Structure 1
Amino acid sequence: MNTLLRPGLLTATFCPLLLLVTSSGNVMAQTTAPKPNVVLILADDLGWSDTTLFGTTKFYKTPNIERLAARGMTFSRAYSSSPLCSPTRASVLTGLSPARHGITAPTCHLPKVILEAVPATSGPSNRFATLPESVSRLNTRYYTLAEMFKDNGYATGHFGKWHLGPEPYSPLEHGFDVDVPHHPGPGPAGSYVAPWKFKDFDHDPHIPDEHIEDRMAKEAVAFMEKHNDEPFFLNYWMFSVHAPFDAKEKRIAEYRKHVDPGDPQRSPTYAAMIESMDDAVGTLLDTLDRLEIADNTIILFASDNGGNMYNAVDGTTATSNAPLRGGKATMYEGGVRGPAIFVQTGSIEPGSESSEIIQSADFYPTLLEILSIDAQPDQVFDGSSIVPALHGKSLDHKAIFTYFPHAPGVPDWLPPSVSVHRGDWKLIRIFHGGKNGKHRYKLFNLETDIGEQNNLADKFPERVEQLDSLIEQHLVDAQAVRPLPNPNFDPSKYDLTLEGKATLKGGANNPRKTRPKAAGKRVAGWQPGVTCTLSAPESTLLVTSTGRDPYLAHRLPRPIAGTSFTLHVTMTSDSSGEGQVFWQTQDSGPFNAKRSRFVAVEHDGNQHEYAVGFTTKSPLLAVRIDPSRGQGKIAIADIRLVGEDGTTHYRLKLGD
């Protein structure tokens, strides 16, 4: 089946006619209601439990999202096309699965341009499957949602995060008239609160601590005001609530007063970020009401993947997706399930709810049906219209697929996989994770086991076979580049019992493996691992990595008593992969995975500060930083170890 390339003309446009017969017998053509505007709001890393829609949080405040829900339909089973951002974003714009468009990892900000997925024929000995190389740019051959709107007479504007490639793959080459702030990176440049570090986008000098979401909403308002007399497509892809974790100080201080240590959602910084995100939604709704165009505007609200429950902030995890299992970068529900709301006055019942299964790739074909616009000849969609669900009907036999052929080292997940949801059942195929290179399976009934604790694959083999045949059909139809059996795999280096705990025997994520004695020169009190070297040019600690598992460790001059610490690291990287921080205490052996935190490192060549919180039960002896998983250079400008009372126990001093 052919994937659509850019066409010339549309087969139909949304401009229905009403034929009127006058008293003299003349026939007059009159257009009916004007074309509806469309506002698509995509939050970044917003988890299923990060709003007040489902009764899963008492800490966060999202009154404007509730206000939006009161105008339309809320979906409790809305899924992103991927547990990571860029693949989902490409699916929103194309209606295609990551298995087909090939963007399966968030690498679109990296320098290397890859337009076709590349299979791998081998891998390290601790992996049973190879990992394909992801496409790194949204190819301009695709006829995007924005181009469809533009060809149908809509003004088109993109505001916020893009992460699908810089020029010539920016929003301006994909059908948008306007792109603000025209930033290709994976998150806000530098911080959420000004001053920012965007290349050509400065904060308002009259608002020195301007929040990026306040500014993006302000820019979106100006776009709506300018095009109030014509149909518009507003694509507002929020930076919130992706790392780095910072927010308005006054709000953080207010939430700090209400922290419940027993609540898994207890980060005041993250709560403040949620509120600023919600404010932006309110600003858009206020503007639609003020301009008196709300009744002629379709609104879609969703998230690009599950909540980030692995990065640390305020001495705890950023958020919790409970009762769902896992989070961002995992194939469990917490990685792919999030809130979604559809609003269309006069068509969708206000305040309604649906438990039908929907996915990001459904948005494009759904809007085509709502607007009575035909797809292009030979246009392919992996998503399908959910209009029946919007009218309160069932989506009989609908299945959705999540293709994630990667192995991020986060707790709760490791192997490259693909899943299918159909009805109450979910099947995960783990590529080549079984005996003799065969696939392995996890089967869950989400109606009775929303937390995915009971694998029923052995109990229901016929259902596994049935659902797996749907997976195979999808992969064949999408011509997916798949993981292959790894000829280098050594089963003795893989411990199945530790799967889901981000620990592999002999693997890069397990510091307990036997390592050669660390080599390389100690610099400023830091000892490099065997796959990197340290130097100190220009007042920075430079890590030069050859790949695999670069790290640097520092033993403190004396044990530090305390129960809570935050390690602040300011660095610039052109490497790749997740970062990790380890700590060692008097009651522990060598660095190990039980005392570690994963870090979503931005390898975009810009300087970022990371704050990793952790707690200890005995005096702290040493810390270790694993800044990446790949080759490249990481320039560390500052390292600080701060106690819970604000005392700085250690600070990097070059020249020691």
Structure 2
Amino acid sequence: MIDPLDDSLLMKMSRGMLPRALLLVFAGIAGMNGSRADQKRPNVVFILADDLGWSDTTLYGTTKLYRTPNIERLAQRGMTFTRAYASSPLCSPTRASVLTGLSPARHGVTAPTCHLPKVVLKPVQATSGSPLQKATIPESVSRLDTKYYTLAEMLRDHGYATGHFGKWHLGASPYSPLEHGFDVDVPHHPGPGPAGSYVAPWKFKDFDHDPLIPDEHLEDRMAKEAVKFLEKHHNKPFFLNYWMFSVHAPFDAKQELIDQYKKMIDPKDPQRSPTYAAMIESMDDAVGTLLDTIDRLGIADNTIIVFASDNGGNMYNEVDGGTATSNAPLKGGKATMYEGGVRGPAIVVQPNVIEAGSKSDEIIQSSDFYPTLLEMLSIPRRPGQEFDGLSVAAALKGGKLDRDAIFTYFPHSPGVPDWLPPAVSVHQGDWKLIRIFHGGEAGEHRYKLFNLKQDLGERNNLADQSPERVEQLDALIEQHLVDTNAVRPFPNPKFDPSKYDVALEGKATLKGGASAAPKASPRGRPVAGWQNGGTCKLSIANGALQVQSTGSDPYLTFRFPKPVSAGPLTLQIRMKSGSSGQGQLFWKESGHAYGAERSQFFDVKHDGIEHRYTIEVQPSSPVQSIRIDPSRGSGTIEILEMQLTGSDGKVIRQWVF
């Protein structure tokens, strides 16, 4: 008997592919089974926040400042995942994985370059790189190719009205949402974030604020546009793809909210930006607007809602005199391979199917959403259609997943704190291995191994202690790269060892090469290229350069292998201090000694909390060396990362420990 709900037949009918006689038979059967034909598949609302970190909501008990009652309200309706991973630590690769169900290693979008003019549809293998890099960096695909059969196309072909609202960042026309299965695209903007600001006036090409609301907030407006779509299509199946602009830069918000949060700031809390807190609240308000509308239209019981983030929280841009947010207790943030870069909040709701208020510790990833929704909607895959993700429907019913591992492929090296060279990682159960491509000796890979159950903050690299575990997990990585036909980094023939510094702590190779973490060194012996001086000793511990000061004149000096050209220089330092007094940066120019005329003071916060400092100087002659006086008193200073850039913004030197 022909099923009147058989989608393959419905698709053929809509395309005029069935004989007239069969159409009449089909229509007759549909009439006899009207009650089944009237059944409507569940609606789908997919909410993807931008740069929302694991600790940026109240879901996991990790924030005292932010308020997200509507996200909590959403969680009370469905299942919250504690181990939800983005497919990438940056946005565009994750977005492509959501729509295709494929890994960035396969679809080739590995960097957020989709707003740039150059169209790249296949990743390009690099043959060389900067002398600062041990490995080459492939060129990312810069558009989501229309050859992929996206989630939106699948649902549209099965009778769904499809609408995209908010950020896209996968390419302008002819690679916009309108070419990837969406009937509606608002504001039809290809950029990496809001055009100009969140608070009107905006700078979108074809989208303006309501003239009656001169200071309209962009997320409020996006929610209103989404409500119009819901109201128009609530009587038929719909797919609302609401990809928020929030909480991506630029950092601005409603002034009244900023003023409210200013009164709530705890200076000792690493989350202490009133602007960012206000942005979180406006994001949460938009979630509330969608929930209110779904309830008002009476469609809540027949609507699947997914909420997730495209990568970890942004810890590195400066907002209100400090970092935007903190992902603690996770290490790192957006653009890093550590947990803070890829783990985020996730909720899935389906009333009467998923237990309300439930939680799952199962590992899920962005590429899982496509196959999961197909199973939830009873929609078959196309013949031959394969996914790198898998359906997590079993977890949504409270069960365990039959999954071996997940992979994060990120062959890039953004100049941010918690930086890593091009890398790929695998999660298997409690274990996580990061392969740093060709980061070891003689072109060998370097590894970081963590047991996340025992060490959620990824402080203890166990690679040296567990070589068999490294080998086993690295074999999984290798198989993933082979299966996806990934374009990989190669050893860089232009690499100059004299321009590269990396602490040896945690270093390991599959051939057994290993180095123990260096101990505190005596005076006169460099540590990671830095010479101690004055009243301090240097050592490496816990991923930081430890400066142990015993008096009022601690300092450390670094001599460049080749003088750095004259001109504006910017040194960024990320550190914690338990000492006292001002910091000072000296630089030694050719033909001159260190002196006050070639120095710059900077204020240091000695509260034991991580802070980022930016010191700008303008030497008139080539610079031979720099000296940092991090304090004026006794105590311990932890320098987590430093980066020196020139006037063109290019990295001259980077130090990681």
Same fold (TM over 0.5): yes
Partner-residue secondary structure (3-state), 1:358:
strand
1:30 paired with 2:35, answer: yes
- In the alignment, which residue of structure 1 is the partner of 2:209? 203
CA shift, 1:472, in A, is 0.8
State the match for 2:3 in structure 1. Answer: none
RMSD: 3.1
Is 1:582 the counterpart of 2:615? The answer is yes
- The answer (yes or no) to whether the contact 1:95–1:364 under 8 Å persists in 2 is yes
Out of 75, 85, 100, the residue aligned to residue 94 of structure 1 is: 100
Alignment of 1:285-324 (within 5 A): 285-324=291-330
Secondary structure, counterpart of 1:68 in structure 2: helix
Q: 1:12–1:397: structure 2 CA closer, same or farther, 3 Å change rule?
A: farther
Partner in structure 1 of residue 393 of structure 2: 387
- Aligned mate of 2:352, from 346, 357, 361: 346
**Residues 118 and 448 of structure 1: CA distance in aligned 2, closer, same or farther (over 3 Å):** same
The 3 A distance-change label for structure 1 pair 149 and 398 is same
Which residue does the alignment assign to 1:370? 376
- Indicate which of 34, 49, 60 corresponds to 2:55: 49
Report the Cα distance in structure 1 between the residues aligned to 2:43 and 2:562, rounded to whole angstroms.
60
Mapped partners of 2:614, 2:109: distance in 1: 28
Which residue matches 2:582?
A: none
What's the secondary structure of 2:503's corresponding residue?
Answer: helix
Cα deviation, residue 499, structure 1: 9.3
2:166 to 160, 180, 183: 160
Q: Distance in 1 between matches of 2:603 and 2:431?
A: 46
Change (3 A) 1:306 1:517: closer
Change in Cα spacing, 1:350 to 1:484, as seen in structure 2 (3 Å) is: same
Q: Report the 3-state secondary structure (helix = DSSP H, G, I; strand = E; otherwise coil) of the residue aligned with 2:84.
A: strand
What is the alpha-carbon distance in structure 1 between the residues aligned to residue 371 and residue 197 of structure 2?
A: 35
Partner of 1:18: none
CA contact (8 A) 2:129 2:137 kept: yes
1:478-489 alignment to 2 at 5 Å?
Answer: 478-489=484-495
The 5 Å alignment of 1:390-409 reads: 390-409=396-415
> Is structure 2 residue 193 aligned with structure 1 residue 225?
no
Residue 272 (structure 1) aligned with residue 278 (structure 2): yes
For structure 1, list consecutive stretches of 5 or more residues without a partner in the other structure. 1-8, 16-25, 520-526, 531-554, 565-579, 596-622, 631-656
Give me the TM-score of the superposition, normalised by structure 1: 0.76
Partner Cα separation in structure 1 for residue 173 and residue 562 of structure 2: 43
Alpha-carbon deviations, 1:587-629, whole Å to 9, x = none? xx9778999xxxxxxxxxxxxxxxxxxxxxxxxxxx9875643
Structure 2: segments with no counterpart, 5+ residues: 1-5, 13-30, 507-526, 531-556, 571-595, 606-612, 619-623, 631-643, 652-657
Distance 1:41 1:499, change over 3 A: farther
Instruction: Provide the residue aligned with 1:145 in structure 2.
Output: 151
Distance 1:456 1:209, change over 3 A: same
User: Does the CA-based 8 Å contact 2:89-2:337 persist in structure 1?
Assistant: yes
Structure 1 equivalent of residue 89 of structure 2: 83
The percentage of counterpart residues that share the same residue type is 72
Task: Tell me the residue number matched to 1:424.
Answer: 430
CA deviations on 1:39-65 (whole Å, 9 max, x unpaired) are 000000000000000000010000000
Note the C-alpha offset of 1:562.
Answer: 7.0
Quick check: 2:412–2:423 contact (8 Å CA) kept in 1?
A: yes
Corresponding letter in the other structure for 2:615: F
Deviation per CA, 1:560-582, whole angstroms, max 9, x where unpaired? 99779xxxxxxxxxxxxxxx953
Alpha carbons of structure 1 residues 563 and 494: separation in structure 2 relative to 1, 3 Å: closer
Q: Which residue of 2 aligns with 1:234?
A: 240
The answer to whether the 8 Å contact 1:428/1:441 transfers is yes
Who is 2:197 aligned against? 191
C-alpha change, 1:27 and 1:278, in structure 2 (3 Å) is closer
User: Any conservation in 2 of the 1:11–1:376 contact (CA below 8 Å)?
Assistant: no
Rounded Cα–Cα distance in structure 2 between residues aligned with 1:29 and 1:10: 16
Quick one: distance in 1 between partners of 2:164 and 2:415?
Answer: 32
Larger Rg: 2
Instruction: Give the aligned partner of residue 128 of structure 1.
Output: 134
Distance 1:561 1:323, change over 3 A: closer
1:443 to 449, 463, 468: 449
Q: Would you say the 8 A contact 2:100–2:148 is kept in 1?
A: yes
Q: CA deviation at 1:342?
A: 0.1
**Cα deviation, residue 482, structure 1:** 0.1
Q: Which residue of 1 aligns with 2:574?
A: none
Label 1:184 to 1:339 Cα distance change in 2 as closer, same or farther (>3 A).
same
